[in-house]
């Protein structure tokens, strides 16, 4: 394209100025003028003398700026892609020398915790596949071998399996579509590959099952089960009702299961929609909190559960209860690991961390090599 633009403008300039412009002695001079003008070098030894020649010069400068920018960006992009490819080749060669490799597709919160647990375990070696530059750099800084690429690359998966040292592959993306695509890609390259996946939406289980994935971990479902068992046990043993601060995706399922057992459930909510949803689901003992003004009345003989979507509210309600003399257990359902320390400082007795529980489950599955 660059050469085409150069010869086009050079030819037009030659037709307009040859025989009129004393500085233009040949067709080669016209091409030389076009290249100098389009490249914005502008020596000035040849310049237009006719009105149309000047118009052509202006257009050639505008096209030149656009073309130079385009060509430069293409060259930089090509070099960058080639550099990434070479860097990944080195990483893959290094991975091929490792043993008991666990591939982690996605270095988000969950991927970070799993990699940490595997490092502590020492039996397995985590290798991260991450396309995001910032997350890839974070994984490198944390001391992991990183392949900076798209995990859905069939060529990449095939290359990784050549050595036969892959124990399992985990896909932990927050997008179910990306996870399903990764599983299908891995299974199409290596039918016997062991792939475990995070499932974000329970209603997509049939799609996951169709991929022949070896095991699924649904973070909220896992926390639901453990929190339910904990609350049921302590409520029955201590003969206490259960207070839920927040009828959210974290807690609604647990509330229903506990109510079905005949346990006394009380709900405190700040959101009108969630307040109405709790009513529609058959809960009658609901208190709407206006302006986050919590009145601590007749709740001391209860177990409190902080399950708001906003983690700052969970911290606030926990510290409000403790500051008002609440001595019973306070449980927090957390999906933001950064706030766990604040919850503990606020007086929370037990935290069910979605990421930590899920990470532990993944490591357990890897150790047992089980299909679920």
State the average pLDDT over residues 50-79: 85
Query: What does the pLDDT read at residue 160?
Result: 86
What is the DSSP secondary-structure string of 128-193? EE---HHHHHHHHHTT-EEE-S-TT-HHHHHHHTTSS-EEEEEE--S-HHHHHHHHHHHHHH-TT-
CATH number, domain of 238, equals 3.40.50.720
Assign 45 to helix, strand or coil.
coil
* DSSP labels, 263-300: --EEEEES-HHHHHHHHHTT---EEEPSTT-----S-T
Amino acid 158: pLDDT: 86
Kindly state whether residues 255 and 315 are assigned to the same domain.
yes
The packing angle between helices 219-238 and 252-260, to 10°, is 40
Range of the domain at 148: 96-217
Q: Which of 63-72, 167-176, 300-309 is predicted most confidently?
A: 167-176
Same domain, 239 and 204: no
Q: Is the pLDDT of residue 370 over 80?
A: no
CATH number at residue 21: 1.10.287.70
Is the residue at 127 inside a domain? yes
User: Residue 261: is it exposed, middle or buried by C-beta count within 10 angstroms (0-12/13-18/19+)?
Assistant: exposed
List, for residues 173-228, the tens digit of each pLDDT value: 989 999 999 999 999 988 889 999 999 888 899 999 999 999 999 888 888 888 99
Cβ neighbour number for residue 95 with a 10 Å cutoff: 21
Residue 141 has a pLDDT of: 93
pLDDT of residue 295: 67
Q: Domain boundary at 191, 217, 243, which?
A: 217
Q: What total number of domains does the chain contain?
A: 3
Average pLDDT over residues 45-61: 88
Share of the chain above pLDDT 70, in %: 95
At 371 the pLDDT is 55
Neighbour tally for 227: CB within 10 Å: 24
Residues 88-101 have pLDDT tens digits of 777 888 888 888 99
Q: Are residues 345 and 245 in the same domain?
A: yes
3-state secondary structure of 238: helix
Last residue of a domain, one of 34, 60, 82: 82
Q: What pLDDT score does 258 carry?
A: 93
Whether residue 281 lies inside any domain: the answer is: yes
Contact 263, 232 (CB under 8 A): yes
Half-sphere exposure of 101 (CA within 13 A, CB side): 25
1-5, 268-272, 289-293: segment of lowest average pLDDT: 289-293
Instruction: State the average pLDDT over residues 75-104.
Output: 81
Q: How far apart are CA 306 and CA 286, in angstroms?
A: 15
Q: Examine residue 358 and state whether it is found in any structural domain, yes or no.
A: no
CA gap 108, 170 in Å, rounded = 12
Give the pLDDT score at 155.
82
The pLDDT value recorded for residue 162 is 83
Distance between CA 89 and CA 369 in Å, rounded?
A: 29
223, 354 Cβ separation under 8 angstroms: yes
- Predicted local distance difference test score (pLDDT) of residue 233: 93
Per-residue confidence (pLDDT) for residue 85, from 0 to 100: 67
Greater model confidence, 131 or 339: 131
- What average pLDDT does this structure show over 292-296? 68
Predicted local confidence at residue 296, as pLDDT: 60
In a domain, 142, yes or no: yes
The answer on 193 and 236 residing in a single domain is: no
The answer to whether residue 365 is domain-embedded is no
| Pair (320, 334) in one structural domain | yes
**What is the model's pLDDT at position 335?**
80
Percent of the chain with pLDDT over 90: 44
- Judge if 153 and 100 occupy the same domain: yes
Do residues 258 and 344 both lie within one domain? Answer: yes
Query: What's the mean pLDDT in 351-370?
Result: 88
What confidence score (pLDDT) does residue 172 get?
A: 94
Q: What is the pLDDT of residue 80?
A: 75
Give the position of tokens 């700026």. Answer: 65
Based on the fold, state whether residues 62 and 174 are members of the same structural domain.
Answer: no
227, 348: one domain: yes
Question: Is residue 60 a contact partner of residue 9, using CB atoms and an 8 Å limit?
Answer: yes
Burial readout 152-168 (b: 16 or more C-beta within 10 A, e: otherwise): bbeebbebbbeeeebbb
Q: Which of 257, 321, 240, 255 is nearest to 286 (CA)?
A: 255
118 in a structural domain: yes
What mean pLDDT, rounded, does the chain reach? 88
Say if residue 138 is in the same domain as residue 229: no
How far is Cα 114 from Cα 107, in angstroms, rounded to an integer? 9
Q: Are residues 321 and 226 in the same domain?
A: yes
Tell which of 59, 82, 105 closes a domain.
Answer: 82
Evaluate whether residue 360 is within a structural domain. Answer: no
Average pLDDT over residues 225-239: 91
Residue 235 within a domain: yes
User: 331 and 227, same structural domain?
Assistant: yes
């Amino acid at each position: 394209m660059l050469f085409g633009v150069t010869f086009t403008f050079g030819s037009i300039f030659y037709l307009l100025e040859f025989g009129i412009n004393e500085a233009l002695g040949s067709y080669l001079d016209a091409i030389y003028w076009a290249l100098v003008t389009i490249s914005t070098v502008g020596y000035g030894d040849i310049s237009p003398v006719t009105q149309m020649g000047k118009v052509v010069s202006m257009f050639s400068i505008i096209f030149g700026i656009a073309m130079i920018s385009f060509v430069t960006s293409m060259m930089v992009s090509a070099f960058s892609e080639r550099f990434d490819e070479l860097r990944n080749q080195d990483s893959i060669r290094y991975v091929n020398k490792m043993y008991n490799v666990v591939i982690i597709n996605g270095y988000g919160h969950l991927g970070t915790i799993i990699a940490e647990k595997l490092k502590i375990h020492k039996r397995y070696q985590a290798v991260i596949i991450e396309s995001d530059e910032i997350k890839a750099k974070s994984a490198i800084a944390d001391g992991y071998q990183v392949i900076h690429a798209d995990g859905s690359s069939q060529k990449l998966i095939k290359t990784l399996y050549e050595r036969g040292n892959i124990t399992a592959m985990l896909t932990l993306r927050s997008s179910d579509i990306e996870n399903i695509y990764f599983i299908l890609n891995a299974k199409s390259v290596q039918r016997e590959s062991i792939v475990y996946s995070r499932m974000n939406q329970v209603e997509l289980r049939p799609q996951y099952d169709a991929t022949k994935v070896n095991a699924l971990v649904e973070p909220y479902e896992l926390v639901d089960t453990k929190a339910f068992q904990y609350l049921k046990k302590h409520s029955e043993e201590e003969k206490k009702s259960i207070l839920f601060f927040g009828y959210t995706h974290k807690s609604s399922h647990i509330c229903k299961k506990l109510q079905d057992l005949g346990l006394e459930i009380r709900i405190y909510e700040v959101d009108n929609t969630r307040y109405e949803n709790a009513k529609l689901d058959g809960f009658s003992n609901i208190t709407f909190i206006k302006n986050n003004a919590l009145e601590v009345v007749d709740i001391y003989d209860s177990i409190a559960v902080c399950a708001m979507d906003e983690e700052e509210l969970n911290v606030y309600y926990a510290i409000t209860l403790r500051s008002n003399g609440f001595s019973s257990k306070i449980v927090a359902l957390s999906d933001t690991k950064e706030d766990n320390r604040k919850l503990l400082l606020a007086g929370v007795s037990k935290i069910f961390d979605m990421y930590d529980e899920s990470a532990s489950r993944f490591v357990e599955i890897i150790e047992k090599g089980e299909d679920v």
